[in-house]
Amino acid sequence: MKPGCAAGSPGNEWIFFSTNEITIRYRNTMSNGGLQRSVILSALILLRAVTGLSGDGRAIWSKNPNFTPVNESQLFLYDTFPKNFFWGVGTGALQVEGSWKKDGKGPSIWDHFVHTHLKNVSSTNGSSDSYIFWKRLIRVSFYQFSISWPRLFPDGIVTVANAKGLQYYNALLDSLVLRNIEPIVTLYHWDLPLALQEKYGGWKNDTIIDIFNDYATYCFQTFGDRVKYWITIHNPYLVAWHGYGTGMHAPGEKGNLAAVYIVGHNLIKAHSKVWHNYNAHFRPHQKGWLSITLGSHWIEPNRSENTMDILKCQQSMVSVLGWFANPIHGGGDYPEGMKKKLLSILPLFSEAEKNEVRGTADFFAFSFGPNNFKPLNTMAKMGQNVSLDLREALNWIKLEYNNPRILIAENGWFTDSHVKTEDTTAIYMMKNFLSQVLQAIRLDEIRVFGYTAWSLLDGFEWQDAYTIRRGLFYVDFNSKQKERKPKSSAHYYKQIIRENGFSLKESTPDVQGQFPCDFSWGVTESVLKPESVASSPQFSDPYLYVWNATGNRLLHRVEGVRLKTRPAQCTDFVNIKKQLEMLARMKVTHYRFALDWASVLPTGNLSVVNRQALRYYRCVVSEGLKVGISAMVTLYYPTHAHLGLPEPLLHAGGWLNPSTAEAFQAYAGLCFQELGGHCDIYPPLCNGHLRGGAHNLLVAHALAWRLHSAGAVSAVAARGDWAEPANPYCLDRLEGGPESWGPGSRYDSDRDISFCRTFTRLELPTRLGCVPWGCGASCCGGSGGTNGRHGIYITASGIGRPGFWRMGPYLQEGLKVRRAYLIDKVRIKGYYAFKLAEEKSKPRFGFFTSDFKAKSSIQFYNKVISSSGFSSENSSSRCSQTQKNTECTVCLFLVQKKPLIFLGCCFFSTLVLLLSITIFHRQKRRKFWKAKNLQHIPLKKGNRVLS
């Protein structure tokens, strides 16, 4: 039984799993190769610095598959993470501890900032109150938390530690160790003691470097026996840029760009000093590892093929992530681009400082979340496209910094403050992020060894205060006991950890079997635009032309001369030839396409009939029949972008006007008359789910159906959507966005609803996620009644991403439904894959590219058609479909290559004739010379010679 959305406070079941075995294995790996790894890494970095070589992350944005490490066809991955993968959660002291004035704690710059800069926020005193209720936090496998500097040392100077603060952190660490939960401790998560800011100017003053080192030394001495993973500073970019540039963060200074880079410079030097301190005095006996958490955004170029746009993206990443990563993980200095651009304000490292800073991280701690960028609709794009592609960001780090070991030190998203336990957005963001991390590990060979879901608890969210929530656990800030409830995202994260990744869950196992021999195998095209004139007019043009071969090389018509021409033929349309060639290669039995009502009847009535358009459609049908391909013709095919109505009808109100149904009846009658009995099936209407005029659409279909004579099937092609619950723990919310939920939904105000997408499922053009078993379920949903008597045709089935390698599950579901016919009374009579060829503007669907190149998906579809389903290797098809299609292919070749075959026959006949004449003359000459030679031979009679 799944836990409900309003589950109570967490119990022991929220101890996800013990990390004891993982920790031991990982420690042994790191300890045995720690020194060796440091030496090798330092040598590689030094070599790169000396030779001038560096990683080039620009390859990430290249769409050339030979250069970019990210393969776009790898949409999702059902797999598990490595066995020694670290799963954890994190918090920041200021965000969750509360009690900002309790038990001797000194004020921080953020406590002051809240009172002076944030409206309607009195303090961080309430928050989650983990300082008081900290025992309720111990429910995860590893826990990343920060130590509040002013809670240990109220004025920031290391003298005698605050006893209450020391007691709190000792108790917290002891409890973690007791439960085999690995602590990852951050020394500085933005809460600088206010006294240091007021006395020294904060991080602008390099005096803070030594003071910070003293504070770190105390922590190493006091807590190092229980802590093996240390983070010096959390996201120094935000400390410098928003604290001293934009003023969005404490201490709220802004306008002095030079101060921003001075702060960044001092943060790097402070981290470096602490790393060397730990490396020299504590690592030998504590056997720990130390790094700095660096955060970044990710962007995509407006034009992926434009070199300048790609360069701008590279500069943006270098200016944010490279600002701190290049000195620490790179060559010990700032990126060259930054030094040139910020020459007058960017501090410089001396050669000694470069050597001091270089390589001062035991792993790459990476933060990727909303603190680094806001949602797409609220962030200035600055000429680029903001992206949440964590996989590409990890690949950029791999290329730039020689594939370091990476800890995802902060990742997650947020919901609005009114959202309680049903945080569906957070589930989808976590799912997408974790899927990208898994792809990076398995497909790109990136060395990610751990993931931190942020945050464990709802709390104070910096400049957003309490207007958003980021916790896995909902906290009622107004309750005295700070009541906590697990959110849907906590349930989901627990499941991910339990399965160690993503397991593929289909509705039922695959089956082997065959569809009936009369099953319709087809391919669908949308609206087929008619050709106004024949594409090959050389046989129907009556004029004589002279070619100016030596001049302008143009054809000039000879006036007054008219030649006798042959009648127009359907093969004069080049597009029809191309379509038939593609259809023959598909080996389908049916071709479904839609007529363009506006092209056939421009005025909307029978007063003006475009006979050329009707002739074109008639040619498509008749030429297909010659090669054994029947037509399924849709009379009206509206889309969201184009209603498909003739202009006069559109101006008259479209389907809101009842007269449109009568006009459609007249149009349908014309089509029935002109196309006659050439078509097997007529779906008069397709996608009849338009927002307005539904009643008139149904009336139009009924009128057309009654008008249609016997001999073919007439039906309406209805869209079949299948809804799955987006939140498996709250079944009242469906995947895909507001369209699935309907008007008036209480989720309409969720500003992050655009993020509710899942890349672990196939995607429709509307960005809705879809599942294969929805095909079978929607068919069964319409079982009985008319569907049971006449059958169901799946007239369009396809996915909205490159590759049809997921077509199989949809056909599998159809086969399962077919096998259940005796029970469900559902008769599936045909399957039509969408679509024949892709469009140049939207290369998403199609068995063929826009330039008629075949995709690999054709081979799969051919195999299914040849086997009439999914047969075992030893079984053979009961149908003669393969032989029939082979014959049709030969027929198609003979029909389409008639001119070439005729010329070939003429050439062969001429060759035979010339050869025959030559042989005849040679024989005749031989007889002539033989006869002539006989005249000169003397005849003997007895002993006399007659001459």
Question: 255: domain range?
Answer: 86-499
Residue 250 has phi, psi (to 5 degrees) of: -65, 145
Helical residues (DSSP H) of 20-130, grouped into ranges: 20-51, 93-96, 109-117
d(CA 836, CA 622): 18
Rounded alpha-carbon distances, angstroms, from residue 827 to 489, 819, 824: 41, 9, 9
Output the pLDDT for position 41.
37
Residue 259's closest CA among 275, 277, 281, 239?
Answer: 239
* pLDDT per residue as tens digits for the range 186-230: 999 999 999 999 999 999 999 999 999 999 999 999 999 999 999
Whether residue 685 sits in one domain with residue 809: yes
Mean pLDDT along residues 770-796: 59
In a domain, 850, yes or no: yes
Whether residue 293 sits in one domain with residue 159: yes
**Range with the lowest mean pLDDT among 186-195, 849-858, 889-898, 919-928?**
889-898
Count of other CB atoms within 10 angstroms of residue 45: 18
* pLDDT per residue as tens digits for the range 13-40: 444 433 344 344 334 434 444 444 443 3
* pLDDT per residue as tens digits for the range 311-369: 889 999 999 999 999 999 999 999 999 999 999 999 999 999 999 999 999 999 999 98
How buried is residue 272: exposed, middle or buried, by Cβ count under 10 Å (0-12/13-18/19+)? buried
Output the pLDDT for position 735.
46
Q: Which amino acid is at 938?
A: P
Selected residue with higher pLDDT from 178 and 7: 178
**Residues β-bridged to residue 746:** none
Token pair for residue 638?
A: 């509206």
Token pair for residue 692?
A: 């307005």
Q: Residue 516: CB partners within 8 Å, gap ≥ 6?
A: 868
Greatest C-alpha distance within the chain: 157
d(CA 231, CA 681): 68
Output the pLDDT for position 484.
86
Whether residue 627 sits in one domain with residue 479: no
Chain position carrying tokens 């001396």: 350
**Residues β-bridged to residue 234:** 293
Mean pLDDT along residues 138-149: 83
For residue 581, the SS3 value is helix
Domain boundary among 867, 894, 914: 867
Count of other CB atoms within 10 angstroms of residue 351: 9
pTM for the full predicted model: 0.69
Q: Are 81 and 333 in contact (CB under 8 A)?
A: no
Whether residue 129 sits in one domain with residue 260: yes
Asked if the model's pLDDT at residue 300 lies above 50, the reply is: yes
In a domain, 185, yes or no: yes
Rounded alpha-carbon distances, angstroms, from residue 633 to 69, 671, 677: 44, 10, 12
Output the pLDDT for position 12.
35
Whether residue 574 sits in one domain with residue 492: no
For residue 203, the SS3 value is helix
Using a pLDDT cut of 90, give the percent of the chain over it.
Answer: 37
Helical residues (DSSP H) of 753-851, grouped into ranges: 773-781, 785-790, 807-819, 821-824
Mean pLDDT along residues 131-157: 77
Whether residue 577 sits in one domain with residue 459: no
**CATH number of 609's domain:** 3.20.20.80
In a domain, 245, yes or no: yes
* pLDDT per residue as tens digits for the range 653-705: 998 999 999 999 999 889 888 886 666 555 656 654 455 678 888 888 888 88
Output the pLDDT for position 453.
95
Residue 3's pLDDT band, with cuts at 50, 70 and 90, is: very low
**Range with the lowest mean pLDDT among 117-121, 378-382, 639-643, 934-938?**
378-382
Rounded alpha-carbon distances, angstroms, from residue 660 to 244, 611, 696: 65, 22, 8
Count of other CB atoms within 10 angstroms of residue 759: 18
d(CA 101, CA 107): 7
In a domain, 264, yes or no: yes
Whether residue 528 sits in one domain with residue 495: no
Number of domains in the chain: 2
Whether residue 529 sits in one domain with residue 481: no
Chain position carrying tokens 């969210």: 461
Whether residue 658 sits in one domain with residue 785: yes
d(CA 834, CA 87): 41
Token pair for residue 635?
A: 């009379």
Whether residue 447 sits in one domain with residue 528: no
In a domain, 230, yes or no: yes
DSSP one-letter code for 938: P
In a domain, 65, yes or no: no
Whether residue 374 sits in one domain with residue 416: yes
Residue 293 has phi, psi (to 5 degrees) of: -85, 120
Residue 799's closest CA among 857, 742, 752?
Answer: 857
In a domain, 664, yes or no: yes
* pLDDT per residue as tens digits for the range 723-763: 666 677 765 544 443 333 333 334 333 334 445 555 555 55
Mean pLDDT of the chain: 78
Output the pLDDT for position 133.
44
In a domain, 20, yes or no: no
Domain boundary among 805, 832, 867: 867
Whether residue 469 sits in one domain with residue 570: no
Residue 480's pLDDT band, with cuts at 50, 70 and 90, is: confident
Domain boundary among 867, 902, 937: 867
Selected residue with higher pLDDT from 621 and 828: 621
Output the pLDDT for position 702.
87
